[in-house]
């Protein structure tokens, strides 16, 4: 399945917190064209329920805990985004659901393409056919 955990580079100080960073095309395998973030989601809420035809994305949760469920039509995987330093690369053609485990969790997403609704597959049977 085309996904992978990426440990985000982090520079920690003794008293003044930490700084984490990544660079498009270097730490993540694509140049970043779009950034969006999702917040204000109640605990146990589920978002997603779609796949992308071509889009590659990199997800991380700088605050809170969010479960990501992936499905390629033949096998499934579950990843918990529960650290500021843990990122998830998701390739195309993967059905995804995101479940908010903790209220006020923030999901940040870097995307390889501009927003294009035509790249979405929002029907599971159509995804399987695709």
Contact residues toward ligand T46 (CB under 6 A) are: 34, 36, 38, 47-48, 57, 96, 98, 109, 115
Min dist CB 16 to ligand T46, Å, is: 32
The nearer residue to ligand T46, 34 or 86, going by C-beta atoms, is 34
The nearer residue to ligand T46, 23 or 116, going by C-beta atoms, is 116
Classified as helix, coil or strand, 128 is helix
Told to judge if 50 belongs to the known catalytic residues of this protein, a careful annotator would answer yes
Element (H, E) at 119: none
Which backbone phi and psi does 119 adopt, to 5 degrees? Answer: -85, -10
Min dist CB 46 to ligand T46, Å, is: 9
Contacts of 48 (CB under 8 A, 6+ apart): 69, 96, 97, 98
Catalytic annotation, pick one of 34, 47, 50, 65: 50
Q: What is the dihedral of CA 98, 5, 103, 108, to 10 degrees?
A: -80
Q: What is the dihedral of CA 74, 81, 60, 128, to 10 degrees?
A: 20
The nearer residue to ligand T46, 37 or 128, going by C-beta atoms, is 37
Min dist CB 75 to ligand T46, Å, is: 19
Active site residues: 50
């Amino acid at each position: 399945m085309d996904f992978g955990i990426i440990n985000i580079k982090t520079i920690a100080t003794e008293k003044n917190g930490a700084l984490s960073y990544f660079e498009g095309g270097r730490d993540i395998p694509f140049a970043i064209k779009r950034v969006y973030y999702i917040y204000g989601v109640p605990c146990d809420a589920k978002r997603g329920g779609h796949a992308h035809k071509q889009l590659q994305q990199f997800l991380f949760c700088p605050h809170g805990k969010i479960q990501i469920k992936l499905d390629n039509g033949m096998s499934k995987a579950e990843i918990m985004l529960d650290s500021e330093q843990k990122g998830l690369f998701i390739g195309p053609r993967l059905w995804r659901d995101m479940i908010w485990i903790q209220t006020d969790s923030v999901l940040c997403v870097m995307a390889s393409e501009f927003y294009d609704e035509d790249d979405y597959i929002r029907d599971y049977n159509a995804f399987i056919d695709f």
